[in-house]
Each structure stands twice: as C-alpha cells, then as structure tokens.
C-alpha cells in the first residue's frame, strides 16, 4: 500500500510511511487540501511566504485605517525627509508625500493588478487549453500556431506593443499583462488534457455516453488543477513585478496614484538626495514576489513529492 501511495505521489518520506501505518489502524480520509497543508506546514520558507503575503494583503485592505497620512497629500516644506523622521517613519518623497502611506495604499493597486491579471490569464488560458486539448484537430492547430506566435515575442515586448496601441494607463497595463500570460496557461492545461484524455476513466466516460462538456467540467478540469495552482502562485509575483515595470516605464498606473512602480520611478529621479525613496517601494515589490515564490515552490513540492529542488 505504501508503495502504491508513493507511486501516486502521496508519500515521500519514511516518517510519513510510519505515520500512515498509525493511520491504518484508525483510517482517516485526507482530502487533497489536507495532504497539501500537512506537507506545506513543514516547509518553513513556504509558511514564511504565506504569512508575509497575508500580512501585506491585510495591511493593504486596511489602508484607510493604517495609513498615517493621505497618500496624495503634497507638502513642499517636507520634501525628501529621511527614514526615521518623526511623523514620517519611512520619510517623504520629492513632493513631501508620506512614503509609508503611499506604500500601504500602493499595495492595493499592485496586488490587485497581480491577482486580477493572473485570474484573467488563467481563465482564458484554461478555457482555450481545455478546448484545444480535448477537441484537437484544426481548432488545436490554428490556436496553437497563434499561441506559438505570441510566444515568439519576449513577454515585455508584447506587453509594450499592446500598451503602445491602447495608450498608457492602469487598465491597459493590466490587460496587456494578462494577455501576455494567456499562452502560458493554455500550454499547461492543454498538456494536462492531452495526457488525461487517453486515460481509461475518460474513455469509459465516453463509452457511457457522457456529455463532452460534462467530461471537460467534471474530469478534465479538476485533474488539470494541481499544475495550474502552482503556475498561478508563481505567476502572481511575476505579474506584480511586470505591472510595476510598466508603471516604472510610465505606461501603467499614472501619477499621482500611489503605486509601487510609480513610487520607484519618481524616487529614481532623486537617488542622490534620497535613495530611500526608491529603495523602499522596490523592497516592497521584492518581498511580495519573494514570498509568492517561496509559497509557489512549497506548493509544487507539496503537490509533487517526486520533484525536489
């Protein structure tokens, strides 16, 4: 039994085998979520990532309560104050705006862009991947060639082309980042579906006369989820970084909005006088992306014990 469980990827260490022997005496059914959580809680870096992410999300949600100042309030008498100034813990920017308040409010935009872009790209990519993988034929050929062409562009170049056409702005940047992400999810889901569709239980579902949409919705989609979850977790960080990059270039969120990419860009103009104005927002992006990468890596190990870093 243990060998079987190891084969399907549910056991990976000797201690877990012993633990399972205990469980055999009093059988306990564990859901996939419970198995993931059991593994994830042993991974200190993944836990650290999860806690930091929850902390940043909470702080962003509570921005109206937590931010000590109005993030857009200009005070030219308080320009470029250093870190540790009373009343302005992280100092002020070139227009005398409180950096801590802008950082707290900025998290809202950066996280919103990251999560919504991934959600959009994942939904569109999953749908296309399910259909092309399941139906195959000319639909698959045409769409996959289009995907190949999209992937022939370096990601940021394609996003730049889209923003260049639509014009700068947060919504356009979000859309561009999301469109760039679609091929990634399409390939992941299509790959899973191609592997799954020849399995016996899918063939049996066909033989029993199940509706095609029923097979897609109840068999193919749920079984494509694990690689999708890992990819999405790792991708949110990348999307946040990407969108901040577009704002840094002046193509994403527009001033005076409090957004981490804009803060970096504005701080960069004064790096000699006030390096903290660009270090702090960059650090915020970095820590969120790092926490998502720790979490994504942990999830990957938890879902696929054969894959060791």
Partner 1 sequence: MTGYIIRRILALIPVLLGVSFLVFLILYLAPGDPALIILGPKANATSLAQLRHDLGLDQPFLIQYLRWLWRVLQGDWGRSIQLKREVLPLILTRFQATAYLTLFSALLAILFGIPAGIISATHQYSLLDRVSMVGILIGFSMPVFWLGILLQIFFSIYLGILPVSGMQSPNQQGFPDLLRHLVLPSMALATGAAVIIARMTRSSMLEVMQQDYIRTARAKGQIERLVIYRHALRNALIPIVTVIGLQVGYLLGGDILVEIVFSWPGIGLLMMNGIMARDFPLVQGAILLVASSYVVINLIVDILYSYLDPRIHYQ
Is residue 44 involved in binding partner 1 (CB under 8 A)? Answer: no
What are the C-alpha distances in Å from 30 to residues 27, 38, 71, 306?
10, 10, 47, 20
Which one of residues 153, 169, 210, 255 is an interface residue with partner 1 (CB under 8 A)?
153
Interface map 231-270 toward partner 1 (x if CB under 8 A) = ------x---x--xx--xxxx------------x--xx--
161 counts as binding partner 1 under rule CB under 8 A = yes
Q: Report how many residues bind partner 1 under the rule CB under 8 A.
A: 48
CB-wise, 131 or 251, nearer to partner 1?
251
Question: Whose CA is closest to 269, among 72, 102, 94, 97?
Answer: 94
CB of 80 to partner 1, least distance (A): 15
Q: Which is nearer to partner 1, 103 or 160 (CB)?
A: 160
Q: Is 106 in the site for partner 1 (CB under 8 A)?
A: no
Check binding of 165 to partner 1 (CB under 8 A). Answer: yes
Q: How far is the CB of 259 from partner 1 (least distance, A)?
A: 13
Of 304, 301, 303, 294, nearest in space to 54 by CA: 294
Site string for partner 1, 187-226 (x = CB under 8 A): ----------------------------------------
Q: What is the DSSP string of the chain?
A: -HHHHHHTTS--SHHHHHHHHHHHHS-----HHHHHHHHHTT-HHHHHHHHHHHHHHHHHHTHHHH-SS-TT---GGGTTPPTTBTTBTT-B-TT--BHHHHHHHHHHHHHHHHHHHHHHHHHHHHHHHHHHHHH-HHHHHHHHHHHHHHHTS-HHHHHHHHHHHH-SSHHHHHHHHHHHHHHHHHHHHHHHHHHHTTSHHHHHHHHTT--HHHHIIIIIHHHHHHHHHHHHHHHHHHHHHHHHHHHHTTSSS-TTS--HHHHHHHHHTTTTT-THHHHHHHHHHHHHHHHHHHHHHHHHHHH-TT---
Interface with partner 1 by CB under 8 A: which range of 4-12, 30-38, 63-71, 288-296?
Answer: 288-296
**Least distance from partner 1 to the Cβ atom of residue 240, Å:** 9
Q: Which stretch binds partner 1 (CB under 8 A): 84-92, 122-130, 162-170, 205-213?
A: 162-170
Q: Pick the closer one to partner 1 by CB: 106 or 267.
A: 267
Nearest distance from C-beta of residue 87 to partner 1, angstroms: 25
Among residues 32, 139, 149, 203, the one that binds partner 1 under rule CB under 8 A: 149
The minimum distance between CB 275 and partner 1, in angstroms, equals: 5
Residues that bind partner 1 (CB under 8 A): 45, 145-146, 148-150, 152-157, 160-168, 237, 241, 244-245, 248-251, 264, 267-268, 271-272, 275, 278-279, 282-283, 285-286, 289-290, 292-294, 297, 309
């Amino acid at each position: 039994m243990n060998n079987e469980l190891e084969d399907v990827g549910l056991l990976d260490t000797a201690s877990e085998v012993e633990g399972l022997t205990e469980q055999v005496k009093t059988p306990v059914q564990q859901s996939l979520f419970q198995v993931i959580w059991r593994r994830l809680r042993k991974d200190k870096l993944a836990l650290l990532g999860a806690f930091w992410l929850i902390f940043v999300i909470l702080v962003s949600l509570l921005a109206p309560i937590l931010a000590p100042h109005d993030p857009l309030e200009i005070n030219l008498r308080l320009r470029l104050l250093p870190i540790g100034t009373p009343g302005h813990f992280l100092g002020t920017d070139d227009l005398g705006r409180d950096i801590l308040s802008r950082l707290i409010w900025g998290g809202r935009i950066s996280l919103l862009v990251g999560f919504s872009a991934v959600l959009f790209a994942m939904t569109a990519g999953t749908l296309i991947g399910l259909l092309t993988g399941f139906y195959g034929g000319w639909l698959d050929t045409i769409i996959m060639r289009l995907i190949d062409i999209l992937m022939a562009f370096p990601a940021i170049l394609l996003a730049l082309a889209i923003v260049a056409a639509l014009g700068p702005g947060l919504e356009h940047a979000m859309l561009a980042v999301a469109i760039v992400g679609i091929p990634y999810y399409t390939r992941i889901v299509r790959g899973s579906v191609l592997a799954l569709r020849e399995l016996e239980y899918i063939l049996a579902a066909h033989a029993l006369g199940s509706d095609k949409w029923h097979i897609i919705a109840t068999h193919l989609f749920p079984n494509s989820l694990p690689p999708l979850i890992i990819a999405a977790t790792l991708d949110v960080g990348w999307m946040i970084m990407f969108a901040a990059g577009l704002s840094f270039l002046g193509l994403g969120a527009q001033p005076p909005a409090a957004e981490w990419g804009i803060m970096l860009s504005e701080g960069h103009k004064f790096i000699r006088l006030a390096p903290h104005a660009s270090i702090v927002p960059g650090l915020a992006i970095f820590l969120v992306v790092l926490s998502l990468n720790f979490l994504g890596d942990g999830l990957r190990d938890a879902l696929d014990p054969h894959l060791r870093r």
